[in-house]
Amino acid sequence: MNRLTLLILFLMVSLLVIQSCTDESVVPVERQLNLPPVEFDYSTNAVPNHVANNLSDNTPPFNQLTDAGATLGRVLFYDTRLSKNNSVACASCHHQEKGFADGQTFSTGFEGVKTTRNSMAISNLKFQKSFFWDTSSSELEDQVLAPLKNHIEMGMENMDYLVTKIEASDYYDELFETVYGSKEVTPTRVSNALAQFMRSMVSYESKYDQGVESNFSNFSGLEKMGMNLFLDHSRTACGDCHNPQSNFAATWRDHANIGLDLVYEDEGAGSGQFKIPSLRNIALTGPYMHDGRYNTLEEVIEHYNSGIQNHPSLDWSLRDGGGAKKMNLNDLEKQALIAFLHTLTDDSFTSDEKFSNPFR
Ligand code: HEC
Ligand code: HEC
């Protein structure tokens, strides 16, 4: 190469760099959408009774689950075009192999800014009364628009811009047409489809679920010991709030203060109370708690065992004679609880193609 070609090459590269910087740093999207020739079955969506015995299904009459609707929801969930600069999709912070959490203490939004709370796992949302760590949303159709509009997460405050961007992608015409009978894109159509996909994500095939069918003959001694401890109100009280019959979350209320701190920086739903999260797939969804303060289940167990703070709003289940409960678990008992929590992992849910990324 002579000097002149080198100089020309250098100029060309510089031009390219300058050009890409002036383009509002929009990330180019060049992926193929791959949908199955026949839609996956989302609408059957039946789960065994034991999963949510005493909870009702939050599907509203105006947004019944259909295979086409959930398929559109899946595409939207994985599409980075739903963020202002095409850099972030819902799935950027909700990874299937991690039970739809993301393994981060705080997640990174579309401009590289961190969220102020830990990303939440997603499964069996159709049995839940409220959403977000502070339980501030009570309808999934509303909830799914929040991350889109959020200035840290996806930055689409302007819903008209969202509509324009979706209309500009060739593959959405047919998808909207199939679901809604016309290709018109509206924020309501977007949120309804996303909510359908959220409700289709049901997890009920963990080792625990198989155990329910077989009187837990599939459990090891340690796992059985852990289950008994988990359900023992006086020793641990775990089942008071994470009730197995209620999808491992609460039955009659949805938030509690578990004495993480004496003074909370983030008060959650008020007085340091946060959503009682389902423990399904919990071994995959760390870091744990609303602020991701614990990296491992060992740390979570040690909190409940010896670290509960005597906050004025500390829940009654975690008190003992007025003070904070001390569980005094020995090492074997701690291991047993953790072994039991691992039985809530559902590999068929985390590997099911119908919940996976359709862009390849
Ligand atoms: C930048 C990361 C990020 C993106 C992008 C994102 N989320 Fe989230 N998601 C979070 C965080 C963090 C929370 C918890 C927020 C809170 O409680 O304040 C959350 C909570 C949720 C919840 C509540 C779950 C529960 O049990 O209450 C649902 C459902 C959800 N997200 C779905 C979505 C959907 C649908 C999208 C796309 C439209 C999306 N998320 C985009 C990080 C993200
Ligand atoms: C009083 C109700 C209550 C009791 C009793 C309780 N929990 Fe929790 N649990 C919660 C709440 C509320 C949170 C979320 C707290 C936060 O983030 O501030 C939580 C969070 C968790 C998490 C982390 C979930 C996540 O997604 O980050 C695990 C794991 C957990 N609990 C396990 C247990 C175990 C094991 C026991 C028994 C030793 C137990 N819990 C007892 C209410 C309770």
pLDDT for position 24:
44
To test the pocket of ligand 1, the residue of 136, 153, 273 to mutate (highest count of ligand atoms within 8 Å of its CB) is 153
Q: Which atom of ligand 1 is least distant from the CA of 154?
A: 5
Nearest CA owner, ligand 1 atom 14: 119
pLDDT for position 321:
86
Query: What average pLDDT does this structure show over 272-291?
Result: 98
Query: Which ligand does the CA of 327 lie closest to?
Result: 2
Q: For the ranges 27-31, 115-119, 187-191, 214-218, which has the lowest average pLDDT? A: 27-31
Structure tokens that stand for 117 in this block: 């709370």
pLDDT for position 250:
87
Between 84 and 29, name the one with better pLDDT.
84
Q: How far is CA 116 from the centre of its chain?
A: 15
Q: Quick check: 143 pLDDT over 50?
A: yes
If you average pLDDT over every residue of the chain, what do you get? 93
pLDDT for position 45:
87
Query: What average pLDDT does this structure show over 251-259?
Result: 93
To test the pocket of ligand 1, the residue of 115, 116, 137, 197 to mutate (highest count of ligand atoms within 8 Å of its CB) is 115
pLDDT for position 7:
52
What's the 82 CA to ligand 2 centre distance in angstroms? 33
Q: How far apart are CA 333 and CA 236, in angstroms?
A: 11
Between 71 and 1, name the one with better pLDDT.
71
Query: Which ligand does the CA of 92 lie closest to?
Result: 1
Name every protein residue with a CB atom under 6 angstroms from any ligand 1 atom. 77, 88, 90, 92-94, 107, 109, 115, 117, 119-120, 122, 125, 131-133, 143-144, 147-148, 153-154, 194, 198, 275
Q: For the ranges 17-26, 132-141, 180-189, 223-232, which has the lowest average pLDDT? A: 17-26
Q: Which atom of ligand 2 is least distant from the CA of 290?
A: 17
Structure tokens that stand for 344 in this block: 């809530």
**CB contact at 8 A, 278 and 121:** yes
**Burial (CB count <10 Å: 0-12, 13-18, 19+), residue 52:** buried
pLDDT for position 54:
83
pLDDT for position 23:
39
Query: What average pLDDT does this structure show over 264-276?
Result: 98
pLDDT for position 253:
87
Q: Quick check: 51 pLDDT over 80?
A: yes
Query: Which ligand does the CA of 79 lie closest to?
Result: 1
Q: Which atom of ligand 2 is least distant from the CA of 285?
A: 26
Q: Which atom of ligand 2 is least distant from the CA of 133?
A: 17
**CB contact at 8 A, 340 and 230:** yes
pLDDT band at 87 (very low <50, low <70, confident <90, very high): very high
Q: How far apart are CA 119 and CA 286, in angstroms?
A: 9
Residue type, 199: R
Q: Which atom of ligand 2 is least distant from the CA of 118?
A: 27
Task: Count CA atoms closer than 13 A to 221's CA, side-chain side.
Answer: 1
pLDDT band at 131 (very low <50, low <70, confident <90, very high): very high
* Residue 114 Rama label (left phi>0; alpha psi -120 to 50; beta): beta
To test the pocket of ligand 2, the residue of 242, 264, 311 to mutate (highest count of ligand atoms within 8 Å of its CB) is 242
Q: How far apart are CA 255 and CA 353, in angstroms?
A: 33
Nearest CA owner, ligand 1 atom 21: 120
Summarised one tens digit per residue, pLDDT across range 3-50 is 656 555 555 554 444 444 333 456 666 679 999 999 999 999 889 999
